[in-house]
Amino acid sequence: MPFYTYDSSFIISNKLSELPDNFLLSAVVLMELTASAPDETTRKQYEAMRRAYEKDGTLIVPDSDDWLMASRILYWLERGRKKDAGGKSPRKKIGASQSMALDALIAVSARRYNAIVVTDNWDDFKAIQYYCKFKLMKGSAFLKL
C-alpha cells in the first residue's frame, strides 16, 4: 500500500477534515496550516494532530540532509530563472521564495519516506521534481482514486 502526504494547498482547497490510514503528515505542511489557523481552537487542533502523528511515527520531519537538498534545489531553480532571463534575476511575487523553499522541504522529506506528494500546486512541485526525483500526484487524480 502506498503512502501519501498532502501539500497544504490540497488540504486547504479541498477542505479536508479526514485523512486516510496510509497518510503521513509533513511537519512542514503542519507548520503552514498552523501559521494560517483561523483561531486558537484550530491552532490547538493542529498541535494535537502533530503530537498524535509524532507518537505513532507517521510525522515526516525534514532532517539535515533534506535541508541541504532543498537548498541545492532552490539554488538550481534560481540559476535556471536567471539564465532564462538573460543573466538577471527576474522579480518574484512576494512570498514566492519562501513558498518554494517549503515545497522543496516537503518534496525531499517525502522522498525519504517514499510517500507520494498530493498537491494542487502542480507547477512548483514539477519544477522541484526536475532536480529531485520523488513521487507526485495531482490532487484531482488523487480524488478519483
Domain count, the chain: 1
Q: Residue 18: exposed, middle, or buried by beta-carbon count in 10 A (0-12, 13-18, 19+)?
A: exposed
Q: Is the pLDDT of residue 95 over 70?
A: no
Q: Give the CATH number for residue 45.
A: 3.40.50.1010
For cell 494560517, the residue is 36
For cell 486547504, the residue is 12
For cell 519516506, the residue is 113
State the pTM of this model: 0.90
- Provide the domain limits for residue 49: 3-143
In tens, the pLDDT along 49-87 reads 999 999 999 999 999 999 999 999 999 999 887 777 777
